Each structure stands twice: as structure tokens, then as C-alpha cells.
Amino acid sequence: MVRQPAVLDRLGGRLGNGFSSRLHDERTASWLGIWLGVSFGVAFVTGLISHFMQQPPDWLRWPSRPVNLYRVTQGLHVIGGLATIPLLLAKLWTVYPELLQWPPLRSAGHAVERGLVFLLVAAALFQLVTGVLNIAYWYAFPFFFTVAHYWTAYILIGALIIHGVNEWAKVRRTVMKRPEDGVDRRAFLFTVAAASGAVVLTTVGETFSPLARLAVLAPRRPGIGPAGLPVNKSALAAGVTTTARKPDWTLTVTGRVERELTFSLAELRALPQHTERLPIACVEGWSASGDWSGVRLRELLRMAGAAADARVRVESLERGGPYRTSWLDPPHCRDPLTLLALDLNGAPLDLDHGHPCRLIAPNRPGVLQTKWLHTVVVT
């Protein structure tokens, strides 16, 4: 028999009884596996929602209601993802004697199984690390976050499903049977759950405002920023401080319309104004509601004589950057809550919130709530 190196001996115990502590046992690993399966499953589904809301395929028409749907799914994605970190660390700690087993490969089947586990661990760590860096606005990675995070999600969920099927019999056996011991195991699982709970409590306030004061670990807090709302990209960063302040600013409605229309700010203010309470729900997890006032998009489309099934592209004064334009499908174009906002919380828009005019619509990712508008193109 091949002897395992002494260092592995010390780290993980001997082959065959790799679990030296009772905490490294199958029952603990099974429970953590179930929790991780649920949390990565939720992250996968909510992640797909976010992806396809931002890049809908032609046949997909996202509804504009419920107003707070995206706020909830993206809050689940980001806060749930953060709560997964203690679970994954605990799982890795519980099974590391297995990961260090010796000899590392016993057969072809064993090699495939270990390769899969390696892929699963690597993908899970990658998703959590890039996700955390992204919500901290620390773009330390040399690739485009959304693309890498999106494709790795399929690798992760694929490996997770195969792993779940492989381990299911073991999980059922260990979870169903009554343990003879269990006190320290239960305490361990309780500690892990409490750590996840603490992460939720100290971050969920970034999207659930009653707990805003507890959100000490959240990168953004609602209530901080001009007019009591956070700012994602400032006017300075977008390079619009001069153009957005020009007194001769106009908004043009053009494209497939019967009449092309151009409005000055005073003319827009002379149109019927509507006030709606709507959230900005940033992809990065924070969200905050405001009272927005302005002109209904559908009113402008009607005045310009656009078709009932028109799609609309709004364009910003911002010159570059991926978020200078966004699309609205018919459900959002028709929704009376979709506003070209001029005021926020009773005062004219702050320059950083999109002065003189920005889009705000229900059930829509923050990246698509385009600021500093100057053109509405009907297609």
C-alpha cells in the first residue's frame, strides 16, 4: 500500500478513517450540502432573471409589474450569495480531509469524480469571490464580470447537479438516520447558520430599508446621497457636467413617429406631471425607493404618434460607457408608471441623479434606468 505523506496524515487523518474529528463527518457534510444546493439554486435562478432582464432574447417580453419584482429577485441574489460564504467555508472545512485523500487518484472513475468536485469547488469560489468584488465596485479582475459570472454559473450548476445525484443516496442515508451523538455537530451547524444570519442582518438593509441602520457590511446604504438616494455613477464620472447643465438642453422624440417632437425643459414641465413611488434596484444589490415626478413616456409616444407596439431606445448625453442607452419593450412603454422624471422627492433632479431628465420605470434593473436623457428613439 502507498503511504500518504506525513503532512496529509496530520492534516486529514489516515486513509480509511479520514475523519478524525466528528465534525468532519458525513452528516455535517450532508446538511451543509443541502443548504448549499438550495442557496446556489436560488442564486442561479435569480441570476438568470437578472441576465435575461438586461439582455432579453427577441421572444421574451419582461412584464413591467410587479413594481418591486426585480428588487426582490436581485436582493435575493446578492444577499443570498453573501449568506452562502459561511456555508461554503464550513463545507470545505468539513470535507477537506476528503479533498486531501491519498493516493489522490485510485481509478478512472475516481479521477472523474475528483475532477468534478474540483470543478465544483473552483466554480463556487470563483462565483462568490467575483460577486463580492463586483458589489464592492472593485474591478480587480482582467475579464468582464457579467460574462464570466454568467458562464461560470452554468458550469457550477451543472457540476452541482451531478454531484447532488452522485451523493444523494449517501445524503439520504445520513440525514434520515438518527445520530447517536450529535451535540457538537449541532452546535457547529448552528454556528454556521448564525454566521450566515449575521451576514444577512448586516447587509440586507441595503435593499430592505427598515434594516438600513444595521447594514454596516453593505457597500451601499439607502438614504445616503443627494435627495436621500445613493448615486451609482456621478455626472463627473459620466463626463456630462457641462452638457447636462446647458440652458438650451432639449429632449427629442424621433424614429418611427408621425411627428418628431422636441421639448425644452420648461415645455416638459408644462405637460401633465405625474408622481410615482418607484425603486432604483441596482444589479449590485442595493435598492431604494423615491417619489419621482415627470412626464409619462406613453404620453410622449402618443403625442408623437408612435405605434402601440413600439419599442423605444432612450439615449443619454453620456458619450461612452455601456449604460448610455437602454431599451424599453411594449409592456414598459405602455405602463403609466414609466416616467421621464424631472423631480425626485419633491425637488428638481440632482445632477448626479440624471438632471435634467432621466428614465424611471417599474420592475427594471438599475442599469437600465438611464440618466441625463436627450433622445427617445421609437423603433
Query: Which member of 75, 86, 97, 366 binds Mo ion (CB under 5 A)?
Result: 366
Find the shortest distance in angstroms from Cβ 279 to ligand MTE.
Answer: 10
Between 192 and 367, CB nearer to Mo ion: 367
What are the beta bridge partners of residue 341? 294, 358
In 3D space, the residue among 174, 245, 10, 193 whose CA is nearest the CA of residue 89 turns out to be 193
Determine, following the binding rule CB under 5 A, whether residue 238 of this chain makes contact with Mo ion. Answer: no
Find the shortest distance in angstroms from Cβ 227 to ligand MTE.
Answer: 9
Size of the site for Mo ion (CB under 5 A): 5
Distance of CA 224 to the CA centre of its chain: 20
C-alpha cell at 127: 462565483
Determine, following the binding rule CB under 6 A, whether residue 353 of this chain makes contact with ligand MTE. Answer: yes
Find the shortest distance in angstroms from Cβ 243 to ligand MTE.
Answer: 11
Query: Which member of 232, 287, 289, 326 binds Mo ion (CB under 5 A)?
Result: 232
Find the shortest distance in angstroms from Cβ 134 to ligand MTE.
Answer: 12
Determine, following the binding rule CB under 6 A, whether residue 229 of this chain makes contact with ligand MTE. Answer: yes
Determine, following the binding rule CB under 6 A, whether residue 206 of this chain makes contact with ligand MTE. Answer: no
Q: State how far the Cα of 342 lies from the Cα of 369, in Å rounded to an integer.
A: 13
Determine, following the binding rule CB under 6 A, whether residue 51 of this chain makes contact with ligand MTE. Answer: no
Determine, following the binding rule CB under 5 A, whether residue 282 of this chain makes contact with Mo ion. Answer: yes
CA pseudo-torsion sign 79, 82, 88, 90: negative
Packed helices 108-135 and 69-99: angle between N→C axes, nearest 10 degrees: 140
Q: State how far the Cα of 299 lies from the Cα of 16, in Å rounded to an integer.
A: 73
Q: Is 375 helix (H, G, I), strand (E, B) or coil?
A: strand
Between 188 and 372, CB nearer to ligand MTE: 372
C-alpha cell at 227: 435627495
Phi and psi for 61 in degrees, rounded to 5?
Answer: -120, 105
Size of the site for ligand MTE (CB under 6 A): 21
Summarize as ranges the residues that interact with Mo ion (CB under 5 A). 232, 282-283, 366-367
